[in-house]
Amino acid sequence: MLSKNQIKIITSLSQKKYRKQHQLFIAEGKKVIEELLPNFDLEWLFCVGDLNFKNVDKNKVYQVTDTEIKKISVLTTATNCLAVFRIPEERENKELKGLIVALDDIRDPGNLGTIIRLCDWFGIETLLCSEETVDVYNPKVVQATMGSISRVNVVYGNIVEILKTTSLPVFGTFMDGENIYKKELPKEGIIVMGNEANGISVEIEKIAKNKISIPRFGKLQATESLNVATATAIILSEFRRN
Amino acid sequence: MLSKNQIKIITSLSQKKYRKQHQLFIAEGKKVIEELLPNFDLEWLFCVGDLNFKNVDKNKVYQVTDTEIKKISVLTTATNCLAVFRIPEERENKELKGLIVALDDIRDPGNLGTIIRLCDWFGIETLLCSEETVDVYNPKVVQATMGSISRVNVVYGNIVEILKTTSLPVFGTFMDGENIYKKELPKEGIIVMGNEANGISVEIEKIAKNKISIPRFGKLQATESLNVATATAIILSEFRRN
């Protein structure tokens, strides 16, 4: 049974300002929820039927009907469970080391979610996001990460300042960059990925001294660009394959 | 000005059966439409204001209002133009050669669109799709291809039969496959990518003699799988980089 107040709070969580106000976010589907349970504090868990979640405080579980879950789901096709988790305090910004990805204003939630999943796969522990990058607790981002959100430290901040002061080499993808297949790539560094429409901003272009590019093999008229998430996949694969 | 009949036809084109009946599909936004104009027969072009399209028969251009374009758009945020194109007859299934991608029941329109864009980038001329794969003229697929749909030959058919009779080596991605970074990859072959939830079907697993895998670098608990479009990106990059 869902209370009116719960419905009001949950539906408000599609918007960043209410997520910030309540310090809550939602996740849907058993697989995603199970991956988040060990790493985030559960507030409420709504289930249609007994779904056999392990290690969950029963006082936080609410049985609901199909009709009720549809009311609070943000998915086109609601699944049979929805969880509300507490947004954790930002982890301290530890010293930057190893391989790091920085996002310069990624706007599409699906792209951010896919990039977080890629970071998890390729063992990237820290993902730096510019303040204009879509919020990691946006429900569409959470769903697209498929649970990887619990294993990648996503830090928002002024990435221009961070890149200016780091001692790590900074890499950016540009049309006229060096062929990534031929360049020797280090084990440590910060890889900047640019905005979907405008690429890397002028300010960051000045800092990203290591300009790389993914060669195109198609016909002359072929597509001018790759989707930012697929470009990230190719670049991370190249850095890690050595 | 939009006629009632046009609205009725255009809104019906979100559904495959009506696309088949009318042999029409839609595309939105100037960039995508311009990429399709040289390769597909235009039926109607609806514009808010004068958008300066080149080489377009003026009799096919209709001036519409913002309110009208919102009625026919399938995008969350309508742009200022929408085109209706004729679906071409399937190109003859020429002899299979070079590098080819085959999709075993890809259901998500965004994934198919992104894979078509990747094929365009990496010079893959033919994309084989199982009959259960999402329709390439689905409006969400068309938008995600960003115009690449006009440069990749997408062929639907019984891929099990095609794979059984081809003389090309068949590659499939499996958890226990050979490390793709260490395997010598040929210039010719068919790379099969599996369904989002179930991977490659049992029938095709028997035919895909060359089992490959993308190594994972994350922690032990890291994500079990990559999104199919990002996995395709990494695999195509590996095949082409040599």
Does the distance separating the beta carbons of A240 and B217 come in below 8 Å? yes
User: Looking at chain B, which residue has its C-alpha nearest residue A232?
Assistant: B230
Position A184 pLDDT exceeds 90: yes
Q: Which residue has the higher pLDDT, B176 or B190?
A: B190
Position B93 pLDDT exceeds 70: no
Summarize the confidence of residues B153-169 as an average pLDDT: 95
Position A91 pLDDT exceeds 80: no
DSSP string, A126-175: EEEEETTSPPTTSHHHHHHHTTGGGTSEEEEE-HHHHHHH-SS-EEEEEE
Position A77 pLDDT exceeds 90: no
User: pLDDT category, A220, cuts 50, 70, 90?
Assistant: confident
Which residues of chain B make contact with A114, given a CB cutoff of 8 A? 227, 229-230
The closest alpha carbon to A230, from B223, B106, B110, belongs to: B110
Give the per-residue pLDDT at A92. Answer: 67
Give the per-residue pLDDT at A242. Answer: 78
Does the distance separating the beta carbons of A120 and B223 come in below 8 Å? yes
Which fold, B99-241? Alpha/beta knot (3.40.1280)
Give the per-residue pLDDT at A223. Answer: 79
Give the strand pairing for A99-103 and A189-193.
Answer: parallel
A75 touches chain B (CB under 8 A): no
Does the distance separating the beta carbons of A218 and B123 come in below 8 Å? yes
Give the per-residue pLDDT at A55. Answer: 86
Tell me which of B34, B142, B179, B237 to substitute to probe the interface with A (most A C-beta atoms closer than 10 Å): B237
Which residues of chain A make contact with B127, given a CB cutoff of 8 A? none
Does the distance separating the beta carbons of A240 and B123 come in below 8 Å? no
Residues of chain B with CATH 3.30.1330.30: 4-86
Q: Which residue has the higher pLDDT, A128 or A2?
A: A128
The architecture (CATH level 2) of B4-86 comes to: 2-Layer Sandwich (3.30)
Does the distance separating the beta carbons of B230 and A114 come in below 8 Å? yes
Q: Which residue has the higher pLDDT, A155 or B146?
A: A155
CA distance, residue B107 to nearest chain A CA (Å):
14
Residues of chain B with CATH 3.40.1280.10: 99-241
Does the distance separating the beta carbons of B229 and A230 come in below 8 Å? yes
Q: Would you call A18 exposed, middle or buried from its count of C-beta atoms within 10 A (0-12, 13-18, 19+)?
A: middle
B14 touches chain A (CB under 8 A): no
For chain B, what is the HEC assignment? CCCHHHHHHHHHCCCHHHHHHHCEEEEECHHHHHHHCCCCCEEEEEECCCCCCCCCCHHHEEECCHHHHHHHCCCCCCCCEEEEEECCCCCCCCCCCCEEEEECCCCCHHHHHHHHHHHHHCCCCEEEEECCCCCCCCHHHHHHHCCHHHCCEEEEECHHHHHHHCCCCEEEEEEEEEECCCCCCCCCEEEEECECCCECCHHHHHHCCEEEECCCCCCCCCCCCCCHHHHHHHHHHHHHHC
Q: Give the position of tokens 């093999």.
A: A217
Give the per-residue pLDDT at A62. Answer: 95
Structure ipTM: 0.92
Position B92 pLDDT exceeds 70: no
Note the pLDDT tens digit of each residue in B26-46: 999 999 999 999 999 999 999
B228-241 and B109-121 helices cross at what angle (nearest 10)?
Answer: 10
Does the distance separating the beta carbons of A117 and B227 come in below 8 Å? yes
